[in-house]
Structure 1
């Protein structure tokens, strides 16, 4: 996909990766970018910095009704949705014993059901036109895993699986899907574990912390190539291969990495 003249929706767009992508899409010549987020003040400030091709809508991605309203507005105003970026995400520091029901429900609601609701809302219009694109932000944690963030890692696995299902079910009907799976990116999410002693992005930061603007280079390239997996951190592909080659050895290595990370905290 080339981004010029496209109508694009980005969730989680008030800051971080979502804001950086929105800015880059406009720079690439998008006709209109709709920024959706829960944070009204940040959203307004973000749109003001992007110019007259940016529109905003306050939207909670855990509410199917609000996502339906977002898509309905875009269809009414533009007649189409070319690219839907399911980017909103949350993280918490937890493990299988400490994660509460509330943490599980919130992570599932944002990291998985936000993608499901977006597809339900936009797919019928895309299928009617015979074309459309979903860019689903997951994480390297959805391909590998990540210590100390159980609800995040599990729901990001689910997000990857859902993106695969979209590609399998609708790829022959003009629907393109890319799944963005970075390691650590310099956003507020990276600092989520600092109070618990997890520094520099934890395990996700083992290969360094990427700036959102640099990540957007990989996004634009991946969309142009219509690649399913977009891996801004190239090491992730090697880690996936190691995992598939010897699962037990990979699990042992992850335990060692976790222990090293916690010892240095």
Structure 2
């Protein structure tokens, strides 16, 4: 689906990948609704691109419904919905050490937010036989994010749900994409575009936004801003035990070099 002339909603668009995609989409002639938990950030981006801003806590189904209602009142039926909001906190100590509240927060933001959007939009998109649902997951949804079990588990679920949508609704004229970037210089991991210039493995939010635009306009299901992720998946499939051993070694290397295991440290080693 083309962005030009489309009505687009993007969650988590007050900063990072969401904000970069909002700018790209608006630059291509889309009508863009910028949504974020932080209304001030959403408003700043919306003002910049002449879009509209709606505050939304994606953990709340009624809030997601209200977001879609407000957006459609302003810009018409939704053509492209980008479910982008996300978070990452890391494991306090061992892989099961995060409290239930953290696991549930990850589940709500990384999985149920996608479900709520699809639940609200599928009836009208199916009736029109047109629409594109874009779920932003992570390379951790295909591989693993060392040091953040809740993030990895829920991002895997996000990828699986997107696949279910694609299988179930392709005949209804609905396109589905799942975005699985690896390391991106965003506020989520405390990195900037200047950091991205120092490592080939680290992309800017704009880089990922461009990959999303290209993937959506090509009606591609799996959007990989980091092509190497495909190679990693193939290596893991060939010998999963060897892959686990390699990841154990990478974890130990990060611990030795930086005294911690986090996305901020791991990107420097790949």
TM-score, length-normalised on structure 1?
0.91
Q: How does 1:1-265 map to 2 (within 5 A)?
A: 1-30=1-30, 32-51=31-50, 54-94=51-91, 95-191=94-190, 208-265=201-258
CA deviation after TM superposition for structure 1 residue 73, in Å:
2.2
Unpaired runs of 5+ in structure 1?
193-199
Structure 1 residues 85 and 50, CA, compared in 2 at 3 Å: closer, same or farther?
A: same
CA deviation after TM superposition for structure 1 residue 223, in Å:
1.1
TM-score, length-normalised on structure 2?
0.90
Q: Are the equivalent residues in 1 in contact too, given 2:14–2:35 (CA < 8 A)?
A: yes
Q: Hey, what's the Cα distance between the residues in 2 that align with 1:9 and 1:184?
A: 24
Q: Hey, what's the Cα distance between the residues in 2 that align with 1:12 and 1:97?
A: 27
* Deviation per residue, 1:98-149 (Å, 9 max, x gap): 1111100100010111100010111111011011101110000000001111
Q: Are the equivalent residues in 1 in contact too, given 2:14–2:38 (CA < 8 A)?
A: yes
Q: Hey, what's the Cα distance between the residues in 1 that align with 2:81 and 2:236?
A: 31
Structure 2 SS opposite 1:3: coil
Structure 1 residues 159 and 206, CA, compared in 2 at 3 Å: closer, same or farther?
A: farther
Q: Hey, what's the Cα distance between the residues in 1 that align with 2:68 and 2:16?
A: 22
Q: Are the equivalent residues in 1 in contact too, given 2:33–2:46 (CA < 8 A)?
A: no
Q: Which runs of 4+ in 1 moved over 6 A?
A: none
* Deviation per residue, 1:130-187 (Å, 9 max, x gap): 1110111000000000111111111000000000000011011101011110011110
The count of aligned residue pairs is: 252
Structure 1 residues 4 and 24, CA, compared in 2 at 3 Å: closer, same or farther?
A: same
CA deviation after TM superposition for structure 1 residue 74, in Å:
2.7
Q: Are the equivalent residues in 1 in contact too, given 2:181–2:226 (CA < 8 A)?
A: yes
Structure 1 residues 218 and 81, CA, compared in 2 at 3 Å: closer, same or farther?
A: same
CA deviation after TM superposition for structure 1 residue 77, in Å:
3.3
